[in-house]
Amino acid sequence: MIDSLMSPRLGNRRFAASTARCAPAASELQSTEVWLPRPSLVNQNPAHSNSLPRLDKHRVHERSESSNGRKKSEINNKPQRQMTDQERKRQYRIALNFFNKKPERGVQLLTAWGFVKSSPDSLASLLFGRRGLSKSMIGEYIGTLHSPYHSLVLKYFTGMIDIRGLEVDVALRKAMQFFILPKEAEKIDRIIQAFALHYSKSNPKRTSNFRGGWDTIHLLSFAIIMLNTDLHSPNVKQRMTQADFVKNLRGQDKVNGEKNGEDIDRKTLEGIYDRIKKDELKAGDDHVAQVQRVDRAIVGKDKPRLTETPRRLVCYCRLQQVADPTKRQSSTARERDVFLFNDMIVVAKGVRRGSTSMVGCTYTLKQWTVLLGAHVTEFQRGQYEFGLTITCPNKDKIHFNARNFEDRCHFVADVTESIREATEMEQVRLEMEMEHHTTIRSDNQRDSGLPDMDESMKLSNGSNSSAGSSSSSTNNGSSFRRLSFNSLDSGVVEEHLETC
């Protein structure tokens, strides 16, 4: 059931593609531009981020010696334990988790941990070609304003999209498979401008048909975005007609500085309108879209919000829930569909049995628990030959019995790895928050080089500093929340199934 959502190990086995690479040795990480657990692209950059001294211990490569005291030098001189492949993959997923929550922080970690170089082209390769990245967060990041670094990332990112020989709307549709446009109009315009420049370079002959060149393509692309919203938004009652679309762009093909331009070719505009009306412009599928499908299928009282950008479905499995391991129950009783996400487990009951697709199938929520603070154990008692118990953070226990040894083995391994990742991610988050506030305190206490203030000024500033600290603590309260919605790629434990 639900083949598209089932863990590769619980349904069809997944083997590493021939292009997959093994985790590099520690000595190779500095010279390798990108290494990741799956065959794709990756990148990162600390040049525009704060330093992460507290996170150095997570890095695989050797740290530079510190000049601040013999104790630090001795620590840095000690040989560091090389990470296993599984630990390195977990570290990478943690960095992606942070990106899917706060892109700047995720980029900071990917660079600090040596998964990618700090150059804009390397980061653009990561955003363009890697699974596990939220397309909405990609759009937010590449649309960042007033940053030369982000402008270069956007330029390299759009440059990787092959749109040669395509009409403007068809090229825009293809480009939007790689990101979701931000909600802020200024960011949208920034991305569309980069797209227009790339289109004009990729299609010089088509661009020459417009007097305004790439500037007209920029305007036309923005008009296409607005047309798409008008035709397909459920909130719009009166739809734009083809005549309206053509009329709105009348006289808009003009050279920069001209007041009155020429009309864009009518057949071109009519073709664009017909294609957009027939087929809505949509972003490409990502892990968030997969979670949305599960979210819509599960109903029930007090159901948690499942759709979050950092959350990802790890696997789906059908298990028998055991009310009491010491008592017998029918082998067909209490069948449950268990959805394991990277930060929580959702237990549901299928309304329609025997379905092989999520479409049209509804589930009733039975139980759910977060993974941070939980643990899983196996048991064998009487008829429950392949039993397992999940102990929730509040000490409640959920008992299951798997169909066979292999299902239990892989499911327990996935749950265990997910718990480890959630735990380590929380540790990293706390370290980053501690470092952030340490930096703030250091900045507040830094000597400005000005003459000493009189006592009244010191008292006044001291009071303000205290108030500011309190305010900072209040304002950053959300930063101290447990980041329970983390990110995880399906098939987290692969050491026995993938070969390098």
pLDDT of 322:
95
- Domain tally for the chain? 1
Residue 243 lies in a domain: yes
- The CA-CA-CA angle for residues 15, 20, 24, to 5°, reads 125
DSSP secondary-structure letter at 479?
G
Residue 415 CA to chain centroid, in angstroms? Answer: 20
Is 21 buried (19+), middle (13-18) or exposed (0-12) by CB count in 10 A?
middle
> What's the CA gap between 6 and 12, in Å, rounded?
9
pLDDT in tens, 77-105: 556 678 899 999 999 999 999 999 999 99
Write out the DSSP string of 17-69.
-TT--PPPPGGGTTT-SB--SSSS------TTS---GGGGGG-SSPPPPPSS-
pLDDT of 136:
96
Residue 337 lies in a domain: no
Q: Domain span at residue 249?
A: 164-285
pLDDT of 331:
83
Residue 273 lies in a domain: yes
> What's the CA gap between 73 and 33, in Å, rounded?
28
pLDDT of 353:
54
Residue 445 lies in a domain: no
pLDDT in tens, 452-471: 444 443 434 444 433 333 33
Residues of the chain with pLDDT under 70: 1-80, 352-360, 443-500
Whether the model pTM is above 0.75: no
pLDDT of 118:
94
Using DSSP's 3-state secondary structure scheme, residue 290 falls into: helix
Residue 340 lies in a domain: no
Q: Is 222 in contact with 179 (CB distance < 8 Å)?
A: no
Is 474 buried (19+), middle (13-18) or exposed (0-12) by CB count in 10 A?
exposed
pLDDT of 34:
37
- Write the CATH number for 181: 1.10.1000.11
- The CA-CA-CA angle for residues 63, 64, 69, to 5°, reads 110
